[in-house]
Amino acid sequence: MEFESIIARAGKPSLYTIVATGKNGLIAKALDTMRPEAVSPAEQVSTLKDISIYIIDGEEPLRNVFAGISSKFEGKVALSHKADMQTLRSSFSEILPNYDAERVYDGDIRKVFKWYNQLVANGFDSAASFQAKVEDTKAEEAAAEVEEGSTKKSSKSKAKPQ
């Protein structure tokens, strides 16, 4: 299972993995029940690789947060999302000390722990598996920056001599 094929659907508590795509939407399988479901094109869907957590000076990709949780809990199941909110907040601030407490709501923290535990239950069992994804992303971003820089240089047009 690839991190890039895992999606979150608005209004749905579980994570899903994409099974198939078609002109009428997606077929996704819930990670907790393993039941396939149709996903309408009108639904709001986000891939986990595109989700970030607000920090004081920007945003932190969710996969980095998951890597931190995995390191803290040694690749095992983390705190339950049903735990006391103060305990969850305390643990979350150890993992991501510079998170923006005004923009990251309690529900977001609960969701992060729930999603992390679902991923661990489905094969993402170590910081290395999340960290490998983090390293892949950094390499992709570096390649995109290099490509963007070369595109900007080549797109400059020279004035024609008169």
Entry pTM = 0.75
- Region 52-121: CATH code: 1.10.10.1650
What is the dihedral angle through the alpha carbons of 56, 8, 132, 142, rounded to the nearest 10 degrees? -60
How large is the average pLDDT for residues 120-139?
Answer: 62
pLDDT confidence bin for 149, thresholds 50/70/90 = low
Question: At which residue do the structure tokens 């979150």 appear?
Answer: 8
Q: What is the pLDDT of residue 117?
A: 92
Going from N- to C-terminal start, the domains of the chain cover 3-48, 52-121
Dihedral (CA of 20, 144, 116, 10) sign: negative
pLDDT at position 162 over 80? no
- Region 3-48: CATH code: 2.30.30
Q: What is the pLDDT of residue 92?
A: 95
Q: Pull the structure tokens for residue 161.
A: 């001599």
Please state, in angstroms and rounded to a whole number, the distance separating the CA atoms of residues 48 and 45: 10
Q: How far is CA 115 from CA 69, 124, 144, 152, 161, in A?
A: 11, 11, 29, 39, 61
pLDDT at position 3 over 90? no
pLDDT tens for 72-106 read 988 888 888 999 999 999 999 999 999 999 999 99
Q: What is the pLDDT of residue 139?
A: 57
pLDDT at position 142 over 80? no
Q: What percent of the chain has pLDDT over 70?
A: 76
pLDDT confidence bin for 161, thresholds 50/70/90 = very low
With residue 65 as reference, give the H or E element that holds it: helix 62-72
Q: What is the pLDDT of residue 7?
A: 92
CA angle 105–49–141, rounded 5-degree value: 120
How large is the average pLDDT for residues 40-69?
Answer: 92
